[in-house]
Chains A and B, each alone.
Chain A
């Protein structure tokens, strides 16, 4: 680690992932982009350390909640990105330990602010 906080982003859409990387790197974060849950599993299994996770629900099934539970147990803060405003998603996310739910489209400044506050900067 070279001092920059590491953020893991799970995102099924490559264009989105690229944008997240661009914006966050510009703000001084390191981004590890993942597109499948298997990749996330590998990282969780290997116990690699990171500071925060961004999980975009789009393109994944309900089993994503299991990963949320694992993140919570590991004490890593994570944010859920939801394709739409939904009471169900909100409830599930909070139940499984999400720090916040963001609905697309996101405002960059909001996202960055939230990450900074979660990281205690």
Chain B
């Protein structure tokens, strides 16, 4: 008999277990509530089948959907209900075809007793460790009033729990039929919500345990439910190291006083086509030479085709990096993922495949591609998580102005990154040049001077600091010309 709160029962959905700090506490009653078609029954199937293989006895009591239908749907989703005991209390077709149905007594008077007896008999025979009751709100019609309902459900739950069961109840809730009473009775409440085309899951109550507040993204697919827990920055403790990550270009390292610190976040800002992605890949090429793995999430380019080709022509061997597993290019289709799903994807790369450098290309693409609100805070949470995992994060941010008034970022997130590297177009004597500069570095000092920067067939070429020029940041420097110009 485990009463220890540290022992948990899996819900059968790994993301939900994570939100619940490990899973359900045994011998308690939980309520899953939500509108039609949102996955309440499916969640019950996950709950029952996650342990049937371990020799536990599980029981599904259905008051709505008939057994055959549940079995059929479960099979098409890939659940094996072989070891699940059923108690089908759904009305049979005879109920409708019988010409007369009673109306002299209330259903509470007529049906409660036989139904209760069937449940008690079945529970005593099966002695289940897990019970899923679908849907408990139907019980309401079998009780005379609210008080009776509460009392019935409470004593019913007590009976199941005394038999050693952990219980999941589903509740068909709506504004017309509120289920607040059930929420008070149960030890935990799981809410499934469909809002603006997005499905979310959130816990509003969990007696005896902590849990992660939602809403978290949930997907009800053809293979059941997936839950993508929201990243919460506080959960991850930051661990600072002073290890330096080199760019592989001596002049850039010099500007950065050695390179970027591992586990910091860097904003690479600049106008379109100036070479932001290329600069990021340069860091990754160097990381690959140290045997580390990097991942690029691209939100706007048809990457695998053009980027591979482009990088190959400038001495960044993207193809062989991919083949050796030191680089992964992931193209994110617009509006397919929620921020929580994206975070889960990144976490899998970091935790399972040991990626040490992540590039998000670009922030505006991320903002446009993700459905949902409050993206800056999601990005912030992701950044904090990566930093705590000592993963170096590169955020590409495109600014609209090609030249002219200097801007660091369009997304207003420059305050949350550790480092800012910016790329600029400069017009000097009617000629277009590119320049690279460092604007912020939280951990160390950095070179304040801009340098000319070029992308050549041999890779990135960076010149000496530009001197003898004024108003570089305006994009139209005055006075003189570039005193030292290198790298043709």
Contact = CB atoms under 8 A, between A and B. Distances in A.
Contacts of B101: 15
Contact of B100 (A15, A20, A81, A104): A15
Contact of A13 (B100, B106, B109, B110): B100
B125 interface: no
A105 B105 contact: yes
A108 B100 contact: no
Interface of B: 98, 100-106, 109-110, 144
B100 A107 contact: no
A106 interface: yes
Given A15-B98, A107-B144, A56 B104 contact: yes
Contacts of B98: 15
B106 A15 contact: no
A19 B100 contact: no
A81 to B, nearest CB: 7
Interface in A74-116: 81, 83, 104-108
Interface in A27-56: 56
A112 to B, nearest CB: 11
What class of interface size applies to chain A in its complex with B? Answer: 10 to 19
B144 A13 contact: no
A20 B144 contact: no
A14 interface: yes
B322 to A, nearest CB: 72
A105 B101 CA distance: 13
A108 B109 contact: yes
A107 B102 contact: no
Interface string A1-32: 00000000001011110111001000000000
A11 B103 CA distance: 11
23 contacts: A11-B104, A13-B100, A13-B102, A13-B103, A14-B100, A15-B101, A15-B102, A16-B102, A16-B104, A18-B102, A19-B102, A19-B110, A20-B104, A56-B104, A81-B104, A104-B103, A104-B104, A104-B105, A105-B106, A106-B106, A107-B105, A107-B109, A108-B109
Majority SS at the chain B contact face: loop
Contacts of A107: 105-106, 109, 144
A107 B105 CA distance: 6
Nearest to A15: B102
A83 B106 CA distance: 12
A3 B144 CA distance: 34
Contacts of A20: 104
Contacts of A18: 102
A107 B102 CA distance: 14
Nearest to A111: B105
Which of B104, B105, B109 has the most chain A CB atoms closer than 10 A to its own CB?
B104
Nearest to B109: A108
A48 B98 CA distance: 33
B103 A105 contact: yes
Nearest to A83: B103
Residue in B98, B101, B102, B110 whose Cβ sees the most chain A Cβ within 10 Å: B102
Contacts of B103: 13, 16, 58, 83, 104-105
Given A13-B104, A58-B103, A104-B105, 4 more contacts: A16-B104, A56-B104, A104-B103, A106-B109
B83 to A, nearest CB: 37
B102 A106 contact: no
A104 B110 CA distance: 13
Contacts of A23: 105
A19 B100 CA distance: 12
Contacts of B105: 19, 23, 104-108
Nearest to A18: B102
Contacts of A15: 98, 100-102
Contacts of A13: 100, 102-104
B111 to A, nearest CB: 11
A11 B101 CA distance: 13
Contacts of A11: 104
A105 B109 contact: yes
A75 B280 CA distance: 103
Contacts of B100: 13-16
